[in-house]
Chains A and B, each alone.
Chain A
Amino acid sequence: MMSKTNQPTLQGISSNKTKLRISAIFIIIVGFYLFTSIKTESSLLDLWSGKNGFINIAKSLFPPHWSYASTVMPQLIETLHMAIIATTVAALISIPISLLSAANLFPNPFIHLPVRFIMNVLRTIPDILLALIFVGIFGVGVFPGIMALIIFSLGLLAKLLYETIESIDMNPIEAIRASGGNTMQVIAYAVIPQVLPQFVSFGLYVFEVNVRASLVLGFVGAGGIGLLLNQQVSWANYPNVMTIIIIIFISVVIIDYISNKIRERLI
């Protein structure tokens, strides 16, 4: 033991204060969990008592009904088409928007702050909720689904892109300005070459996101494979459901793989 008055007394490895804080945080997290799991009827007890439901469903999914695949494929392709169109349109619109949101190109906060604010708001709205609203306006079909995907991915893409633009090397921009280039030329010669690979990469990433999102848009009548999935589940036709799940799984894995390979080569 240390005996000098000014020395801190040894109280174990960590100080009491740290111990107290960690315990308090721990108790709050666990306590709140107990509360929420009871409130949402999702405690471990519920999991135990509900296990038969899961087992029954899992059993009834097999064997998948393979011949149903021919009905699923056209819907899958429609889903992919929705994602392709939405990603393309969102990518085109995101270019001017991200340029306007970049503080290094448009230092005037009255330009970039409002644009960013709108994009931030768009990103918080779930795509399926947008789809519901557009179905209300345009009626059921792929069009409201595409619109929902465009708006949601626009927010995402614009954010990724303006952050990239803000991180570019400003030196070439100065050089182009110094040799008499105007704003368009500065963008074409100094900004675009620096951000193009990332732009394509983000576009592919957003395409992946859109494929996943478009799978479920059919739940609310906005086109694609989700319609079949919802239908078959509500008819309790589980072998067909399993067929759809397998097809979704394979196509998502393939798309992610291709997209990842391209993105790796880009940067």
Chain B
Amino acid sequence: MTEFTLPPKQKKTPWQKMRPYVIGIILLAIYIWTFTSIEIRWSRVFSQHTIESLTRVIPQLFSPDWSAFGKVMGLMWETLLMAYTGTLMAAILAIPFGFFAARNMVKNKFLNTASKWALNAIRAFPELVLALMFVAAVGPRPFAGVIAIAIGSIGMLGKLYSEVIESIDMNVVEALEANGANKIQVLFYGIIPQIIPEFLSYAIYRFEIDVRASTILGIIGAGGIGTLITIATTNRNWSEVGLILLVIIVVVTLIDIISAQIRKRLV
């Protein structure tokens, strides 16, 4: 027994040997490219101005201006109404998209792919970009925000709906068809009971996201509490921004908690 047999070296194909280096070089190239071309004005970031702002802004953020509470809550309420309207619109309008994109419902490859692409295309854009366009179209009012929320939500809900529909138990559908049920009857007795809880759950989940999204739409004039954020930051009224922040954090957290509770009971 030799005390000193080293383990044999691992046998690797050339690609396996090269792979870590290739990945490393690609990553390194990306980072070099990034850090050499990004223009951060460090002189401004670390300037007297910054220090002054820091000492002014931060303490004010943490001492909310409670006198604005009524105004802020009013606009927060409007924000919630916008989110609700947009989400509900989307929750309904996404249903046909979901069915068209589901392979087990619509046996037409072209329709499936086209709906999936449409849904993907919508999801490529942040709500704020959509809202910017709609503000240009219908003017700066909550309506623009609601439409942006609704369209953005259709993208996600349509995709999730189609996944739910594709995962249902088709045996039930088959059994009903064997009983002589027509298409509408199959839909109401075989399909809808299977998908309703998940559809609702996703719609409520999307409402959480839409509440967050609605809080900022006002920044470009699409209604809600964001309107106030723009005014307060332009006026450098940081204690009002502090209050808005606090209200957003509390309301969003509460909505997340309530929504999680409802969704737990649904599924």
Residues of chain A whose beta carbon lies under 8 Å from any beta carbon of chain B: 29, 32-33, 35-37, 39-42, 46-47, 50, 53-54, 56-57, 77-78, 81-82, 84-85, 88, 120-121, 124-126, 128-129, 132-133, 135-139, 141-143, 146, 212-213, 215-216, 219-220, 229-230, 233, 236, 241, 245, 248-249, 252-253, 256
Contacts and interface: CB of A to CB of B under 8 A. Distances in A.
B30 interface: yes
Interface in B213-247: 213, 215-216, 219-220, 223, 229, 233, 236, 238, 241, 244-245
Interface stretch (B100-108, B165-173, B174-182, B248-256): B248-256
A212 B130 CA distance: 12
A132 B219 CA distance: 10
Interface stretch (B4-12, B65-73, B77-85): B77-85
B264 interface: no
Given A136-B238, A143-B40, A46 B143 contact: yes
B249 A124 contact: yes
Interface string B39-56: 111001100011001100
Contacts, number: 167
A212 B155 CA distance: 15
Nearest to B83: A36
A261 B135 CA distance: 36
A72 B212 CA distance: 29
A85 B138 CA distance: 37
Contact of B88 (A33, A230, A252): A33
Contacts of B120: 253
Given A77-B37, A229-B129, A124 B136 contact: no
Given A40-B82, A219-B219, A252 B124 contact: yes
B267 interface: no
Contact of A249 (B57, B121, B139, B245): B121
Given A215-B129, A216-B128, A142 B40 contact: yes
Contact of A137 (B50, B128, B136): B50
Contact of B44 (A56, A88, A139, A215): A139
A128 B245 contact: no
B147 interface: yes
A220 B81 contact: no
B128 A50 contact: no
A244 to B, nearest CB: 9
Contacts of B138: 50, 53-54
B78 A40 contact: yes
18 contacts: A33-B85, A40-B82, A40-B142, A41-B141, A42-B82, A46-B143, A50-B138, A57-B136, A120-B253, A126-B212, A137-B50, A137-B57, A138-B45, A141-B39, A142-B40, A213-B126, A219-B220, A245-B125
